[in-house]
Every structure is written in structure tokens, then in C-alpha cells.
Amino acid sequence: MKVFHGVTEARELAGCSLALGNFDGVHLGHQALFAEVRRQGAPTAALTFQPHPGKVLQPDLAPKLISLLPRKLELFEACGLEAAVVQPFTREYARHSPRDFEASLLDVLGARHLVVGYDFTYGAARAGTADTLREAAAARGAQVHVVPPVTVDGVVASSSKVREYILEGRVSAAQRLLGRPFDLDGTVVTGHGRGRGIGFPTANVDTQNELRPAAGVYAIRVRFLGAPASSPDAPWLPGVANIGVKPTFGVNEVTIEAHLLDFSGDLYGRELRVQFLERLRPERRFGSVAELVGQIKRDVEAARAVIARASE
């Protein structure tokens, strides 16, 4: 997939079918837009903003993002798009009128089909709507396609809803809207080394990802990323993760630690992707290490059952 930095760099996409949005998380609603783009024909592309407009316009209220830009681009590619236009978003850019935005897509970039969702708005003060976009396109012989809301069990798929679920630890609800499990990437860093001593060594995952699930114990799958580890179809390894402050040991900082069920070996420095399948229980303080170990054994069995179901 080709990545262009800004509309003016992307003129070779003239005649393209282009989806418009932030696309944080690339959930099922976003995927429906990309399916519509593919139906309209090549070259197929999506335009997204970087940083997320919320970070620029209301930094104090801005949400934690479901996925960072590299992962978003990877997901675009997995949806079959041939190109992405990453438009730098600044306060100055945000002041552009709807007319400017229309001209940049239709005249500068020369898109032929614009694909937006049912609630899409654009330009300063969000004054542009699907109707104004349609008028602007029609005047240039281009078309606008508006995708109706995609819902799952009565819930409209949206980035905000997915974030809410993840923050509550409801990762399987998030998965239903994403169409895949929520994941984050990280590097294995050193911990306190207690895990090995109690029979459950854990990889401490240091992640740049902004959004993490609520504290608790999760059934997970893990895949190694990057050189020299593996190819894109490297296997998903079953695991169980604890997110939290380890109250049994009185640690203050929140960590994400993953115990791989059928793996032994040194993981320090490895880069991995962790997929969260289901929350098994809240984190709690145990009166003794023996009680904690007994519970972790039960967690491992529960995780195996969840992962076996997920792999069916």
C-alpha cells in the first residue's frame, strides 16, 4: 500500500475512490466504507488525519486512541486499500472552509468517488455535510456515496464506543465492533523476576499504545513481530495477561504482563502483538503467594478454554 503525506503529494491518485474519516480502530463501520470504496473501483484509498483532530483542537479532552498510525495503515492494507493519504492536521488546517476541503479532494487530488459515513461532517465548524459534499462533487462530475450506520446487536459501531468498552475491560464487546480482537504492540522489558519464582514467568510488555484495557486478568494471544522473529503468518501463541498494580506485592505502577502458556525461553527485547480475547476477572490482593498461585492456575485453565473457543 502506498502512503502519501498530504493531499498535494497524492495527485497520482487522480480518479480514485476515496473514503474520508479519522478511522481510529478501523471498526466494522469503517470497514463498510472501505468495502464501498472497493465497489467503486481503483485506485482505492482512504484519507485520514494525523494527529487525530481531537488532539489538536481539544488536547485536554482528546481520547486515547485505539491504534497508532502504523497499525492503522496496516489495517487499511488488510482491508484491501491500495493507498492512504495521511493529511497533517494543524490548527491552521482546521480553519479551512468546507469549500477549501472540497476543492482539495476534487480538484487537487481529483477523486472520482468519495465515500463517507452517515454522520460525516467536514471543514471549519464542521459546516460541511454529505449533502454539501454531494453538490460539490456533482458540479465536477464526481460522486458521493453515503454508507448507512453499521450496527452490531443494536449498537452503532463507533470509535468512541470501542474505546469505552476497552477502558471498561469489555474486550469481547470491543471485538464485536472491531471485527477482530483489540490488540496492542509492545516490547518485552525486565520486571522484578518474581513470576519465574512462583512458576508463572511473565513478559512485561512496554507499549506506546495509548489505550489499554481496564486492570484485570485476560485470556490473550501473542505473536512475535519484527526481525528476526517471523513472517506475517507467525502463529498466535495462547497466553494469560495481568494488567494492574499487583496489589499482592504492593507495586505502584500499572504494568501489562503476559504469561505464555506453552513457551519457555528468554523474551527480553522481543517485540510482540498482544490480542485481548476476554476478561477473566478483576485483579485482587491475595493474602499469600500460595493463594495467588492457586488462582493463576485456574486463570490458565479458563484462558485455555476461551482460546480454544476463539480458535475454532
Ligand X SMILES: Nc1ncnc2c1ncn2[C@@H]1O[C@H](COP(=O)(O)OP(=O)(O)OP(=O)(O)O)[C@@H](O)[C@H]1O
Ligand Y SMILES: Cc1cc2nc3c(=O)[nH]c(=O)nc-3n(C[C@H](O)[C@H](O)[C@H](O)COP(=O)(O)O)c2cc1C
- Supply the minimum distance, in Å, between the C-beta of residue 208 and ligand Y: 20
SS3 24: coil
Nearest to 54 by CA among 94, 83, 109: 94
One-letter amino acid of 137: A
Per DSSP bridges, beta strands 203-207 and 151-152 are unpaired
Choose the one of ligand Y, ligand X, none that binds residue 217, judging by a C-beta under 5 to 8 angstroms depending on kind.
ligand Y
Choose the one of ligand X, ligand Y, none that binds residue 120, judging by a C-beta under 5 to 8 angstroms depending on kind.
ligand X
End-to-end alpha-carbon separation of the chain, Å? 31
Nearest to 110 by CA among 4, 224, 241: 4
d(CA 52, CA 48): 8
Choose the one of ligand Y, ligand X, none that binds residue 172, judging by a C-beta under 5 to 8 angstroms depending on kind.
none
- Supply the minimum distance, in Å, between the C-beta of residue 288 and ligand Y: 11
Site mask for ligand Y (CB under 6 A), range 162-201, x = bound: -----------------------------xxxxx----x-
**Could you say which of 32, 47, 217, 219 contacts ligand Y (CB under 6 A)?**
217
Q: Residue 279, interface with ligand Y (CB under 6 A)?
A: no
Determine the interface stretch with ligand Y among 1-9, 12-20, 171-179, 291-299 (rule: CB under 6 A): 291-299
Residue nearest to ligand X (CB): 117
Rounded to the nearest 5 degrees, what angle is found at the Cα of 215, between the Cα atoms of 28 and 289? 140
Per DSSP bridges, beta strands 143-147 and 113-117 are parallel
- Supply the minimum distance, in Å, between the C-beta of residue 115 and ligand X: 8
d(CA 207, CA 190): 13
Choose the one of ligand X, ligand Y, none that binds residue 199, judging by a C-beta under 5 to 8 angstroms depending on kind.
none
Choose the one of ligand Y, ligand X, none that binds residue 248, judging by a C-beta under 5 to 8 angstroms depending on kind.
ligand Y
Choose the one of ligand X, ligand Y, none that binds residue 20, judging by a C-beta under 5 to 8 angstroms depending on kind.
ligand X
Closer CB to ligand X, residue 120 or residue 182? 120
**Could you say which of 145, 161, 259, 273 contacts ligand Y (CB under 6 A)?**
259
Closer CB to ligand Y, residue 193 or residue 228? 193
Helical spans, DSSP H, in the chain: 28-40, 53-57, 69-78, 91-94, 98-103, 130-138, 159-167, 171-178, 194-197, 289-311
Determine the angle formed by the axes of helices 171-178 and 159-167, rounding to 10 degrees: 160
Q: Which residues bind ligand Y (CB under 6 A)?
A: 191-195, 200, 202, 204, 217, 240, 242, 246-249, 257, 259, 283-286, 292, 296, 299
